[in-house]
Amino acid sequence: MNEFLEAVANHAFMRHALLTGVLASVACGVMGSFVVVKRISYVAGGIAHCVLGGIGAALYLQRAHGWDALDPIYGALVAALVAAVVIGLVSLKARQRVDTVIGAVWAIGMATGILFLSKTPGYGEDLMSYLFGNILMVTGRDLWLMVALDTVVVAAALLFFKQFQSICFDEEFSRVRGINVSLYFVFLLVLTALTIVLLVTVVGIVMVIALLTIPAAVAGHFTNRLSHMMAAAIFVSVIFTTGGLAVSYGPNLPAGATIIVLAGATYLLVAVIAGARRRRRRTGGNGTTDRMVTEGDRERG
Amino acid sequence: MTERPALELRDLSYSYDGTPVIEGANLTVGCGEFVTVVGPNGGGKTTLIKLVLGLLRPDSGSVRVFGCRPEESKPRMGYVPQRSDIDPSFPATVLDVVLMGRLGKTRRFGMYTREDVDAAMAALVDVELAELPRRPFSKLSGGQRQRTLIARALASQPDILLLDEPTANLDIAMEQELYEILLRLKKRLTLLLVSHDLAFVSGFTDTVACVNRTVVVHTTSEVTPELINALYGRDVRFVRHDHLMGGAE
């Protein structure tokens, strides 16, 4: 642990990594909560894997054709946004077999990326870092881009919280209330796409869905309101990213994978404890909530 | 009766994947009336309500709500969907859910206003949940959840309330509560209720519309056949249910 704190004090890359974790956690807690309550992690997975297509194309143009200004993260952004709109429109129009279409988009995005990368000189290490994360290689310029993405995501989520909350809870009712549900759904996916690009830096494409959904799922066990769930998810996500960095530093483990294992283990633990508590309550042992509800009903009836 | 009818369906048809669900339906509901739509499962009850709400577009015929197309009348309609379509574990308090009914009436950006909270609290009083605004939606009983969704529909201060199968999965005590709430709402709203449960509605509804591809109206109120024919159009057969009259107001 001391080793980790020393590294934070001495190395800019460690401070960047910590800050990256915090910045990613903000967007992750907000959008992850929407993704979890709307049950669209599979959609988010499709968007995440399409990101590789954009990264591959950007790297190819950069290295093989000398487009030096084209940082792979811009390719990732474009791919994520295109995927969000395509998947969004498909799930709105084609009511059947949405999962098949998302699966196809998912694979096509990845395959495109791999094709581009195979034609890009010296791609090997890049592929690994995009698939599994490169939080220790974050530059100051990357951080500013993350601040910008965070600002967009959080501002949009605050401005349109009412609409997003309502379409997540009940699309049909929202439509009756005059909300353009399709528009807000695609908008929600676009914001999710921006968040995914942020998180890819931390844990890579393959593990991004875990980091997007696990903090929100853990937070969901302790909160009863969407806004509280978001705040708790941000907190939990900061713990995961910071804790993962600290644990991985000493034994020189991959940070992204360590963060995910930490998150996954916590989630399982919380789910098991919550399950056990629910069972105990149902058998009448230490029950409080369920009984209160029943008594309230009896009074009324 | 100077205002136009609350609801007017004319020769309404709708088919799904080539199968006709509603065919040539006619129905007129006057302002302040309480109409119950009954019919077998798959008979088109839910389709009818969705056509009224403007969630589906008819193949032919017209829907008029207070004289306007459903899209224009949305602000005047309150909708209580089937409870089974809603995730009971959604992280929201009773007040959070009811506030969603303010969408379309409240400002577009940012959080709900004081005025929205007042309207939501008033709606909670209507459904006798005024003491539980902070209770998590996931911790409610089935009947309380039902009443929360009714309050959400009332929060927009509608002129017509449409309820889709509100009695599904309710026990007798909960039905009684719902019955009392609807009786009170009947005094100030037009009500259209979809149900498979004729026993539940027969006590207090004005008119029963049977939907099985087409709409056949039965009345429990004392109106002359001539008036009914004028009101409901020529395609509708008129049936008096005298045994239901005792229960009508």
A contact residues 225-264, partner B, Cβ 8 Å cutoff: 225-226, 228-229
Q: Of how many residues is chain A composed?
A: 301
Residues of B whose CB is below 8 A from A180: none
Tens digits of per-residue pLDDT, A97-113? Answer: 788 888 998 999 999 99
Q: Do B87 and A169 touch (CB under 8 A)?
A: yes
Which among B74, B85, B112 has CB closest to A178? B74
Write down the residue that tokens 């980091």 correspond to. Answer: A211
CB A169 within 8 A of CB B138: no
Q: Give the list of residues 6+ apart from residue B189 with CB closer than 8 angstroms, or none.
A: B32, B78, B158, B159, B160, B161
Tens digits of per-residue pLDDT, A29-82? Answer: 999 999 999 999 999 999 999 999 999 999 899 888 888 888 888 999 999 999
Residue B120: φ, ψ to 5° = -65, -40
What is the Cα Rg of chain A in Å?
A: 21
CB B86 within 8 A of CB A172: no
Q: Would you give per-residue pLDDT tens digits along chain B (249 residues)?
A: 456 889 999 999 999 888 888 888 888 899 988 888 887 777 788 899 999 999 999 999 999 999 999 999 999 999 999 877 789 999 999 999 999 999 999 999 999 999 999 999 999 999 999 999 999 999 998 889 999 999 999 999 999 999 998 887 778 888 888 888 998 999 999 999 988 766 666 667 777 777 777 777 766 553 444 444 443 444 444 444 443 333 333
B contact residues 103-162, partner A, Cβ 8 Å cutoff: 103-104, 106, 109-112, 128, 132, 136-141, 143-144, 152, 156
Asked if the C-beta of A95 comes within 8 angstroms of chain B's C-beta atoms, the answer is no
Asked if the C-beta of B68 comes within 8 angstroms of chain A's C-beta atoms, the answer is no
3-class secondary structure per residue, A168-230: HHCHHHHHHCCCCHHHHHHHHHHHHHHHHHHHHHHHCCCCHHHHHHHHHHHHHHHCCCHHHHH
Greatest mean pLDDT among A250-254, A290-294, B83-87, B93-97 lies in B93-97
Size of interface A-B (CB pairs under 8 A): 105
Q: Set out the domains of chain B in order of their start, with CATH numbers.
A: 7-85+159-245 (3.40.50.300)
| Chain B residue closest in CA terms to A221 | B91
Asked if the C-beta of B88 comes within 8 angstroms of chain A's C-beta atoms, the answer is no
| CA distances in angstroms from B76 to A42, A176, B108, B117, B239, listed in the order given | 37, 10, 18, 19, 31
Asked if the C-beta of A158 comes within 8 angstroms of chain B's C-beta atoms, the answer is yes
Q: Set out the domains of chain A in order of their start, with CATH numbers.
A: 2-288 (1.10.3470.10)
